[in-house]
């Protein structure tokens, strides 16, 4: 099993949320076509590796220092063999720790062997404070979803300390690319609905240049706002909507189907009953918009039953109908 790098290095803010993915390791199986799984050489109280993907997960609050972990990849074939290890350096920093810092060897902390699992022998992990790589202050930007509609569009340019600095994405990103000049471009049309729950595009860049002895890193966050220029609307006609129900209609009888359209998110429309002047004789199916009868009592002849309903997309309600 051959790892793509001899050493993996990741910088992590100390306020990173638990269960965040902070990095990824990748190896190639040179002997077999079977899939690989990834494992820490020893269990760790703060970091965990997802076996199937090689993603490193933060499982507890870290201290602002450097952690040196050892990982290996396995093809899960029998008999088990000793696996070669790869080093992973995780630098945890406070927001105000931007400059390099040298730490005395007295700060080295050794963690003994952890528990053994059924298949693998754990080696010890050295967790140590080391010289920190310079990390530039994070940058944050705000845009509307529609701003990122055209692939290739330059959204903004990253700041340079020197005119000859060169930028590079740390890892591929679905939504953006970064030119060597620092220009951030749209890679794939931005889709608010497919973004994670925080509705942000997050990535790191490496910065190199004649003014830098070592590469620097910078975290970039793009906050996306979904501005609904075309709100949902009912397509039922006429308005107000009208339907006829049989006097002896049993419970669950379909009497009407609400239909609304949202140019942005048709598949996320929900329907709700907001005001009922029928004493609970009707219900509205939230997803389909179907209006159905309730109760076993006969309906009254020539009586008008009035309902007020609304259609709601992912972002909020539209007017009552």
The DSSP bridge pattern shows strands 216-225 and 139-144 to be parallel
CA angle 87-93-94, nearest 5°? 170
Report if residue 177 sits inside a domain: yes
One domain for residues 83 and 31 = yes
Residue where one domain finishes, among candidates 25, 59, 93: 93
Report if residue 110 sits inside a domain: no
> Is pLDDT above 70 for 311?
yes
- For residues 174 and 200, give the distance between their C-alpha atoms in angstroms, rounded to a whole number: 12
One domain for residues 89 and 10 = yes
- The domain that holds 17 is classified in CATH as 2.60.40.60
Q: Which of the pair, 187 or 310, is modelled with greater confidence?
A: 187
One domain for residues 217 and 242 = no
pTM of this structure: 0.39
Residue where one domain finishes, among candidates 178, 194, 225: 225
Report if residue 100 sits inside a domain: no
Going by pLDDT thresholds of 50, 70 and 90, the confidence category of residue 126 is: very low
Q: Which of 77-81, 193-197, 226-230, 263-267 has the lowest mean pLDDT?
A: 77-81
Report if residue 121 sits inside a domain: no
Q: Which of 136-140, 164-168, 298-302, 311-315 has the lowest mean pLDDT?
A: 311-315
Q: Position of tokens 């397509």?
A: 235
Q: Which of the pair, 111 or 260, is modelled with greater confidence?
A: 260
One domain for residues 255 and 184 = no
One domain for residues 151 and 197 = yes
pLDDT above 90 covers a percentage of the chain that reads 43
- For residues 135 and 66, give the distance between their C-alpha atoms in angstroms, rounded to a whole number: 14
| Alpha-carbon distances of 167 from 4, 205, 260, 315, rounded to whole Å | 21, 6, 46, 36
Report if residue 47 sits inside a domain: yes
What's the number of domains the chain is made of? 3
One domain for residues 210 and 276 = no
Average pLDDT estimate for 285-295: 93
- At 42, list the tokens: 């020893």
Q: How does the average pLDDT of the chain come out, rounded?
A: 80
One domain for residues 199 and 245 = no
Question: Tens digit of pLDDT for each residue in 157-196?
Answer: 999 999 999 999 988 999 999 999 999 999 999 998 888 8
Average pLDDT estimate for 248-255: 94
Q: Which of 112-126, 208-222, 248-262, 278-292 has the lowest mean pLDDT?
A: 112-126
Report if residue 18 sits inside a domain: yes
Average pLDDT estimate for 241-254: 92
Report if residue 168 sits inside a domain: yes
Q: Which domain holds residue 260?
A: 233-313
Report if residue 134 sits inside a domain: no
- For residues 125 and 114, give the distance between their C-alpha atoms in angstroms, rounded to a whole number: 9
> Is pLDDT above 80 for 304?
yes
Question: Tens digit of pLDDT for each residue in 4-41?
Answer: 888 999 999 988 888 888 999 988 876 666 678 889 99
Question: Tens digit of pLDDT for each residue in 186-230?
Answer: 999 999 888 887 899 999 999 998 888 778 999 999 999 876 556
One domain for residues 296 and 270 = yes
One domain for residues 55 and 33 = yes
Q: Which of 66-80, 114-128, 142-156, 220-234 has the lowest mean pLDDT?
A: 114-128
- For residues 31 and 112, give the distance between their C-alpha atoms in angstroms, rounded to a whole number: 33
- For residues 300 and 303, give the distance between their C-alpha atoms in angstroms, rounded to a whole number: 6
One domain for residues 272 and 219 = no
Average pLDDT estimate for 106-132: 34
The DSSP bridge pattern shows strands 183-186 and 200-208 to be unpaired
pLDDT above 70 covers a percentage of the chain that reads 78
């Amino acid at each position: 099993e051959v790892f793509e790098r001899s050493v993996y290095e990741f910088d992590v803010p100390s306020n990173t949320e638990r269960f965040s993915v902070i990095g990824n390791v990748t190896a190639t199986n040179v002997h077999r076509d079977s899939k690989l799984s990834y494992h820490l050489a020893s269990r760790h109280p703060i970091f965990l590796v997802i076996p199937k993907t090689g993603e490193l997960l933060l499982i507890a609050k870290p201290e602002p220092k450097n952690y040196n972990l050892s990982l290996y990849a396995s093809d899960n074939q029998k008999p088990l063999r000793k696996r070669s290890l790869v080093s992973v350096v995780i630098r945890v920093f406070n927001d105000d720790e931007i400059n390099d810092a040298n730490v005395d060897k007295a700060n080295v902390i050794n963690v003994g062997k952890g528990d053994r699992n059924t298949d693998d022998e754990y080696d010890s992990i050295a967790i140590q404070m080391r010289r920190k790589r310079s990390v530039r202050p994070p940058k944050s930007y705000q845009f509307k979803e529609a701003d990122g509609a055209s692939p290739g569009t330059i959204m903004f340019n990253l700041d340079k300390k020197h005119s000859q600095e060169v930028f590079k994405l740390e890892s591929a990103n679905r939504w953006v690319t970064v030119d060597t000049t620092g220009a951030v471009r749209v890679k794939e049309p931005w889709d608010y609905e497919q973004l994670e729950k925080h509705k942000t595009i997050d990535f790191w860049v490496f910065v190199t240049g004649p003014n830098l002895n070592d590469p620097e890193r910078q975290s970039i966050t793009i906050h996306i706002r979904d501005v609904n220029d075309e709100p949902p609307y009912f397509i039922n006609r006429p308005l107000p909507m009208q339907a006829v129900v049989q006097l002896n209609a049993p419970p669950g009888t379909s009497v009407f189907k609400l239909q609304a359209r949202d140019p942005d998110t048709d598949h996320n429309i929900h329907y709700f009953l907001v005001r009922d002047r029928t004493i609970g004789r009707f219900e509205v199916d939230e997803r389909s918009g179907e209006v159905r009868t309730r109760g076993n009592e006969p309906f009254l002849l020539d009586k008008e039953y009035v309902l007020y309903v609304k259609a709601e997309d992912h972002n909020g309600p539209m007017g009552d109908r």
